[in-house]
């Protein structure tokens, strides 16, 4: 068994000794900014767009090909990477719930996938070069639990083009996501993938028309305003797997 906040591994992992980071005072609380609908950490007045500069208290589990994961059941130690990652995901999850009491979180698993990060950054650069908006949003994707790790390792694929369609394509071929967790929960999905995403040029899709909007990088169904469908998997960076407590 592992204690709360510990990273899961098949083999015992030595504790990674935290190294000092310039400008970070670990005796102070980490605060968070919600500017532009994206929650980022602010430590001693320094905005951190990535938590990568803060050390883990336990070594993440290595999955191969440079991918690692760490399952966190609570905030962990003050000033630790566990606290930062858990807080960012938990706050973003709660914010996207918008109304009502948010479902109770059982655990949050943080994935670090350099290949998918590089792909996401490349797409961001392409959008910027072509004068397309690089605005980022957070979205949920609910799927069968057996498929979660494949997505976190390989990234999202477009149903009907790169992989088989599982849940339909009524609004065109793309990757279907939601800006709140409520819709995936209606399908009894207790495991959700929380991703950063690039909207790009955003269009609309009419109900019942299996047509991808022309010249759009993402689109929203007219009768499902809390959905966003993305043209390409490279527009999404899956970062967290959120497991919810069953009622």
- Torsion angle defined by CA atoms of residues 78, 80, 86 and 88, in that order, rounded to the nearest 10 degrees: 90
pLDDT digits (tens, 9 = 90+) for 231-241: 999 999 999 99
pLDDT digits (tens, 9 = 90+) for 105-121: 899 999 999 999 999 99
Q: How far apart are CA 205 and CA 217, in angstroms?
A: 12
Confidence of residue 146 (pLDDT cuts 50, 70, 90): confident
Separation in Å, CA 19 to CA 46, 135, 216: 18, 33, 44
Structure pTM? 0.77
Q: How far apart are CA 8 and CA 2, in angstroms?
A: 7
What confidence score (pLDDT) does residue 37 get? 40
Residues 197-210: what's their mean pLDDT? 78
- Domains recognised in the chain with CATH numbers: 31-110 (no CATH), 116-244 (3.90.228.10)
Higher-scoring residue by pLDDT: 33, 157: 157
Helix extents (H) in 37-172: 81-97, 114-129, 145-154
Confidence of residue 76 (pLDDT cuts 50, 70, 90): confident
């Amino acid at each position: 068994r592992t204690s709360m906040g510990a990273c899961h591994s098949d083999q015992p992992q030595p504790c990674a000794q935290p190294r000092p980071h310039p400008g970070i005072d670990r005796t102070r609380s980490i605060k968070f900014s919600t500017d532009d609908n994206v929650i980022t950490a602010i430590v001693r007045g320094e905005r951190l767009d990535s938590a990568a500069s803060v050390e883990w208290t336990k070594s993440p589990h290595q999955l191969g090909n440079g991918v690692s994961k760490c399952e966190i059941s609570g905030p962990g130690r003050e000033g630790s990477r566990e606290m930062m990652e858990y807080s960012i995901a938990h706050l973003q999850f709660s914010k996207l719930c918008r109304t009502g009491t948010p479902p109770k979180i059982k655990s949050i698993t943080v994935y670090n996938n350099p290949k998918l990060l590089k792909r996401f950054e490349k797409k961001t650069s392409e959008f910027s070069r072509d004068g397309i908006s690089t605005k980022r949003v957070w979205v949920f994707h609910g799927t069968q639990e057996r498929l979660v790790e494949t997505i976190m390792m390989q990234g999202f694929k477009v149903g009907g083009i790169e992989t088989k369609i599982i849940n339909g394509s009524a609004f065109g071929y793309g990757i279907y996501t939601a800006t709140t967790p409520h819709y995936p929960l209606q399908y009894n999905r207790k495991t959700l993938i929380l991703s950063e995403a690039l909207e790009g040029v955003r269009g609309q899709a009419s109900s019942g028309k299996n047509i991808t909007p022309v010249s759009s990088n993402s689109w929203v169904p007219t009768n499902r305003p809390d959905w966003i469908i993305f043209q390409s998997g490279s527009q999404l960076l899956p970062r967290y797997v959120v497991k919810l407590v069953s009622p």
